[in-house]
Structure 1
Amino acid sequence: MTAPMPHDDADNTDAHAKPAGTQTLLRGLALLEWVAAGVTDVKGIAAKLGTPRSTTHRMLTSLVAEGYLHHIPHKGYRLGSKLIHLGQKALEQRPLVAIARPHLEALAARTGDTIHLGIAEGDEVFYLDKIAGTRGLEMRSRTGQRMPLASTGIGKALMLGLPVARWAGLHTQACPDKATDDAAGPVRPSPPPWPEFAARMADYAAWGWAFDLEENELGIRCVAAPVRDAGGGVVAAISVASAAPYMPDARMRALGPQVRATADAISGALGWNAE
């Protein structure tokens, strides 16, 4: 049985508003999220949580003992093996991931490229699954990551299920802040100006698949297509991504129908009928 989390009554100033132990539980979850975000030392975590360092240290010690965190001397705290296990279980229990996986593996085997599965959460793509390609390439995408919809191929495929009136706002959100970039260094990739972006989206809507032409990560191109549910709504999208030398225009055009066919197969498994 999992040991109870340490609890300080002196810290529970909101006890009258929440059931006993709730604040400690929420604080522990917030601690895990800050470690996941890269805050790995006791002082930094305590500052983020607004708790005394002694309280923070006791929470960290308990989470390490239960396997939720791992402590590396002189380097701080990292997410532990139990969270990896739970994360894998969470993916397995999402029907979409389980249904899509065999289709994604088949597409990965045919193309040799990196395959993604994602859904829309607000104005962002949330990556549910990723199969690394066999070309020895590394790209920054990862399961659990979020990206602006309008800057990625998979996001633009998801946008095909949204009202056209929303496209301009999503395009604006995906464009880097020039003042911030000028201060921070080189300008990040971004979608093309709105008129060109809108024209491309119109083409994607007609084709049933979308492209990312190095708009999210320099040197990376991808082809994406939407996944639909039994009601015909876009509930997810998949993509094939690789380095630009492996993704010339001609190959991207040839991949479009293949990616769409895989997306349609997943849609069929979810109950969608193209007719």
Structure 2
Amino acid sequence: MSQSVDRALGILPLLARGPADLGGVARELDVHKSTALRLLRTLHAHGLVYRQPDGRYRLGAHLFALAAEAVENLDVREIAHPHLVELGARTGHTVHLAVHQDDEVVYIDKVDSRYPVRMYSRIGKPVPLTVAAVSKVLLADLPEPERRALAARVEYPRYTARSIPDADAFLRELDLVREQGWAADLGGHEESINCVGAPVRGADGRAVAAMSLSAPGVVVTAEELLDLLPLVRAGAETISREYAGSGPAPLPAEAGAGPESGA
């Protein structure tokens, strides 16, 4: 990277902390004021920096507009899909991606398992809000007032004996999920299906989607599925880094075996 570009980019995090005068920018960059002024003028010409009436500089409106446009055009499904395929290939189980919309959590992508028993789920289908792992992951990330308001207005169908029965139990479950950073549905929707999920986060740290791994109990036990949780979390973290623009990272080497090898 050229020295001028490197120095110019160094101004942006400084101004993100608040307005600064020319002397402060020069000291931060360890350059002469004339050099700092030249860099500031270039950034100002592109709308990335704005000079206030008091002579101090702050981040420009065009920078915020670019950031907003970039976030709006990000497609988490497009970014996540290769990683869903990879996780499915490494485990053999069903992989889902879901997002929170209003009072629904909806599947936006799915990679089917490689064994004959298939899950009854499809892209665009809302998930059981109070029991699904992806739902718990996404709702646990809501601010507490929103969590409490949602818990008070949703219904609590008893799909199985393990379904969450009421708002108090649901809030306790969401608190646990928020603390541990992942969620599970071990027979809460269907006795025979278990699922683990983890959040995909944006640059601001908020959950923008949830990724999950599901399998019937006739293929793997709940304990065996939980053993694959590190792969799910690592996959979600990789998607998060790519979505946030901080770079990809590989899944860990120790993959759990798929159903054909008894995992």
Q: What TM-score results when the alignment is normalised by the length of structure 1?
A: 0.56
1 CA distance for matches of 2:191 and 2:150? 20
Q: Residue 197 of structure 1: CA displacement?
A: 3.7
| CA contact 1:171–1:191 (8 Å) conserved in 2 | no
**Cα pair distance change 1:134/1:171, threshold 3 Å:** farther
Q: Does 1:154 align with 2:125?
A: no
Q: How far off is 1:126 after superposition?
A: 1.2
Given that 1:149 and 1:170 are in contact with CA atoms closer than 8 Å, whether structure 2 keeps it comes out as no
- What's the % identity of the aligned pairs? 35
Q: Does 1:250 align with 2:223?
A: yes
SS at match of 1:110: helix
Deviations along 1:216-253, one digit per CA (max 9) or x if unpaired, are: 23311100011111111111001001112344342233
* Residue 100 (1) aligns with residue 70 (2): no
Aligned to 2:125: 145
Matches within 5 A, 1:50-61: none
Instruction: Give distance in 1, aligned partners of 2:245 and 2:220.
Output: 30
- 2:141 and 2:197 map into 1 onto residues whose CA distance is 13
Runs of at least 5 residues in structure 2 that lack an aligned partner in the other structure: 1-72, 248-263
Aligned-pair distance for 1:192?
A: 4.0
Measured at CA, do residues 102 and 197 of structure 1 come closer, stay the same or move farther in structure 2, by a change above 3 Å?
Answer: same
| Counterpart mapping for 1:1-275 below 5 A | 95-171=75-151, 173-176=154-157, 188-189=159-160, 190-271=163-244
Letter in 1 for 2:133: G
Please tell me whether Structure 1 or Structure 2 has the larger radius of gyration of its CA atoms: 2
Distance in 2, Cα, partners of 1:98 & 1:273: 17
- Kept in 2: contact 1:153–1:239 (CA 8 A): yes
Instruction: Check whether the contact 2:187–2:194 (CA below 8 A) recurs between aligned residues.
Output: yes
User: Is the partner of 1:266 in helix, strand or coil?
Assistant: helix
Q: Name structure 1 gaps, 5 residues minimum.
A: 1-92, 177-186
Deviation (angstroms), 1:110 = 1.2
Aligned to 2:31: none
Contact 1:123 1:148 in 2 (8 A): no
For residues 248 and 169 of structure 1, the distance between their equivalents in structure 2, rounded to whole angstroms, comes to: 35
- Cα distance in 2 for partners of 1:106, 1:215 equals 27
Which residue does the alignment assign to 1:30?
none
* Residue 112 (structure 1) shift: 0.6
- SS in structure 2 of the partner of residue 147 of structure 1: coil
For 1:174 and 1:137, how far apart are their aligned partners in 2?
A: 30
Any conservation in 1 of the 2:88–2:95 contact (CA below 8 Å)?
yes
**Aligned-residue CA RMSD in angstroms?**
2.4
* 1:215 to partner: Cα distance: 1.9
CA offset digits 1:193-224 (Å, max 9, x no partner): 44544443333222211001222233111000
Q: Match of 1:130, SS?
A: strand
SS of 1:231's partner is: coil
CA–CA separation in structure 2 for the residues paired with 1:94 and 1:231: 14
